[in-house]
Amino acid sequence: MRLNQDSTSARLFRWFYVTSEMPKNLCPYFWKLVLMWVFILPYTILSLPMLIFFRDRTSNVNLLGRPAGGLLVYLFLGQVFAMLFSISVFWIQFPKESIFSLFQAIGIIDWIIAILIGCITLLRNIVIWLRDFKHRQKILKKYDDNGNWIPPVDRIREKKPNILVEFIKASYYKYCPSIEWTQEKTK
């Protein structure tokens, strides 16, 4: 039996099963094709965020990777929607049995969790910065015999010319400076 590899069914088969090889036998191909046509709509709906947001990176994802990633994107968007919807609690009070009050409650919980995570992260970064600052102060406090502070060697930098200042000087003095290119290691 001859089948066209560029037919719609063959292309959808390769996309759905994330494969480039087509089956050599008709029986497995037929039953996989039937299964594909049954599940193509829910699979596509679940995979849609992955196809939109991660178009280049989903070409070699396994069969369950696209819908699982899409489901995570849907959950994330739902959380963002609930967080935005929870702001309406300042103006509108919905009945407790409605879905809108559920979205408000979920959104308020999301805001509380986000604020707590933000505060914990901020405190952690402040503690790390203070610890590093104290450590740096101990290292940097070196003085000579006269009591003058000696900066560490890595703190002493040679002054580099500023392109804008050099251009203004060149324009003012009406000359064109030559450029010497060097390769410096950047930190």
pLDDT tens-place string over residues 57-91: 555 666 677 788 888 888 888 888 888 888 877 78
Q: How many CA atoms lie within 13 A of 131 on its CB side?
A: 6
User: What is the reported pTM?
Assistant: 0.49
CA distance 97 to 105: 12
**What is the DSSP annotation of 73-125?**
HHHHHHHHHHHHHGGGGGT----TTSHHHHHHHHHHHHHHHHHHHHHHHHHHH
pLDDT (tens digit per residue) in 4-49: 777 888 888 888 888 877 887 777 788 888 898 898 888 888 888 8
Higher pLDDT, 1 or 16: 16
Distance in angstroms between the alpha carbons of the first and the last residue of the chain: 64
Cβ-defined contacts of 126-129 (< 8 Å, 24+) = none
Q: What is the pLDDT of residues 102-113, one digit of tens each?
A: 888 888 898 999
Residue with tokens 């901020």: 122
